[in-house]
Amino acid sequence: MQEEIEALHNNKTWILVPKTAGMNIVGSKWVFKTKLKADGTIDRHKARLIKQLDVKNAFLHGHLQVLKKALYGLKQAPRAWFDGFSLHLLHLGFICSKADSSLFILHCKRSTILLLLYVDDIIITGSNSEHVSEIIVTLGKEFAMKDLGPLHFFLGIEVKQFSGGIHLSQSKYAAELLHKTDMTLAKAVHTPLAQKHGLQEATGSPVDVSLYRSIVGSLQYLTLTRPDITHAVNLASQFMQSPNSEHLLGVKRILRYVKGTLQHGLRIISQSSCRLYGYSDADWGGCPTTRRSTTGYSIYLGANCISWASKKQSTVARSSVEAEYRALASTAAEMTWITYILHDIGVYIKRVPILYCDNLSALYMTVNPVMHARTKHVEMDYHFVREKVARGQLLTQFVRSKDQLADIHTKALTKQVFLGFKQARSGSSSIH
């Protein structure tokens, strides 16, 4: 507490003035928290556990019009802090990524340095370790910072080094979720979703809406490193408004699957090619209630799965071809955004990105504008994929259904097929 008070005074956060009638007083309170390491042991008290770099009293560095500096708890504080820190980075020669406003890049003869800023959590890396250290020292002169060493824990994501790459997981987060939901001793299952689940039409007794939303929200965060549960969590998220007991059983099945796969995550191989490719799939009219289709995709950079999604389409598709075409457009948009990110950090894709689809008719639509009569009702933005193909910026190719890795994001699969897709490799690609 004394350190916090001293920090407030050192940063000249406020000026004490006599209280007058009509003044709006800003209230305050103390918040105490014990932060733990990835293995569950105590790291430190009070301060938040921030990986790589920790900006002490970050919000106190933001300027506001009324107070001399921003205070924690004020709505303007995060924005004020971000503006102040990002402005200083720009003065140091960094540029802000056009594709991601939280990513800052410094290109110079000595090296390329990347800095990712999430509120007051910072990851910094670069091609020259000495230059990275100099930048940290320079930032430390303006902001009180603590270097926490090599990245090992960031926003609940565990980072483990191995020979040739890193492994990203949320094992501790998942274990805490199981404990919170009293599922620690539950029997594990092999798939997160029963093949004939019938959740859309399920009727049951009402359940605690807040509890259901809390569990599903936690599972949504777990999908950051768990592509294998993305479709099941997306399905569970569709019943947030009025879940029933059958829906809750479906969520518990996901937790039982997580129980048996606690250590699963993403394996990122460093010595990998920069070939960009993706798999696009759609489950036509998969929702029996709304008859809307589900879009699913998996995108790879070399051997590494870097983006995935399972999302219900916004409108009803009149055919499976149309549903697949919409999925292709969504995947193409994501791949385009990824190329922008790579361009910003200085990685240039030499080969045209490839988008794989298991529907030949949808592929023909991406290259044949003559089929206008079948697609004239489709919103113009979905023809984005056709434009990318016409410009030579994207290549679409057919893939057999048994090799369609995005299938895991669109429908419930049998145990054998599900486990097969988890282990499936395209080249040396894998999602677990």
106-141 pLDDT per residue, tens: 998 889 999 998 877 889 999 898 999 999 989 888
- Comparing 79-93, 238-252, 278-292, 354-368, the range with the smallest average pLDDT is 79-93
What Cα–Cα distance (Å) separates residue 92 from each residue in 123, 136, 146? Answer: 17, 12, 19
pLDDT in tens, 251-308: 999 999 999 999 999 999 888 888 999 999 999 888 888 899 999 999 999 989 999 9
pLDDT at 55 (0 to 100): 54
Query: b/e map of 312-338 (b: 16 or more CB within 10 Å)?
Result: bbeeebeebbbbbbbbbbbbbebbbeb
How far, rounded to the nearest angstrom, does the alpha carbon of residue 50 sit from its chain's CA centroid?
A: 18
Mean pLDDT of the chain: 83
In angstroms, rounded to a whole number, what is the distance separating the alpha carbons of residues 83 and 106?
Answer: 18
pLDDT at 48 (0 to 100): 37
In angstroms, rounded to a whole number, what is the distance separating the alpha carbons of residues 347 and 332?
Answer: 19
Mean pLDDT of the 72-94 span? 77
The share of the chain scoring above pLDDT 90, in percent, equals: 42
Asked if residue 371 has pLDDT above 50, the reply is yes
Asked if residue 173 has pLDDT above 50, the reply is yes
Superfamily of domain 272-423: Ribonuclease H-like superfamily/Ribonuclease H (3.30.420.10)
DSSP string, 240-295: SSS-BHHHHHHHHHHHHHHHTTTT-EEEEESS----EEEEEEEETT--TTT---EE
Q: What are the tokens at 326?
A: 């919409």
Asked if residue 245 has pLDDT above 80, the reply is yes
pLDDT in tens, 298-310: 999 998 999 999 9
Report residue 430's pLDDT band, with 50, 70 and 90 as the boundaries.
very low
Report residue 426's pLDDT band, with 50, 70 and 90 as the boundaries.
very low
Evaluate if pTM is beyond 0.75: yes
Report residue 50's pLDDT band, with 50, 70 and 90 as the boundaries.
very low
Instruction: Answer with the residue of higher pLDDT: 59 or 201.
Output: 201
pLDDT at 273 (0 to 100): 86
* Beta partners for residue 277, in sequence order: 300, 354
Mean pLDDT of the 84-106 span? 91
> For the chain, which residues make up each domain, given as ranges?
2-154, 169-259, 272-423
With CA atoms as reference, report the closest residue to 303 among 280, 341, 275, 336. Answer: 275
State the Rg of the chain over Cα. Answer: 25
Report residue 379's pLDDT band, with 50, 70 and 90 as the boundaries.
low
Mean pLDDT of the 209-233 span? 94
Asked if residue 185 has pLDDT above 80, the reply is yes
Residue in this structure with the two tokens 């270097």, named with its chain if needed: 147
* Beta partners for residue 169, in sequence order: 158, 265
The share of the chain scoring above pLDDT 70, in percent, equals: 87
Neighbours of 119 (CB within 10 A): 17
With CA atoms as reference, report the closest residue to 279 among 167, 388, 431. Answer: 431
Phi, psi for residue 299 in degrees, rounded to 5: -120, 135
pLDDT at 105 (0 to 100): 94
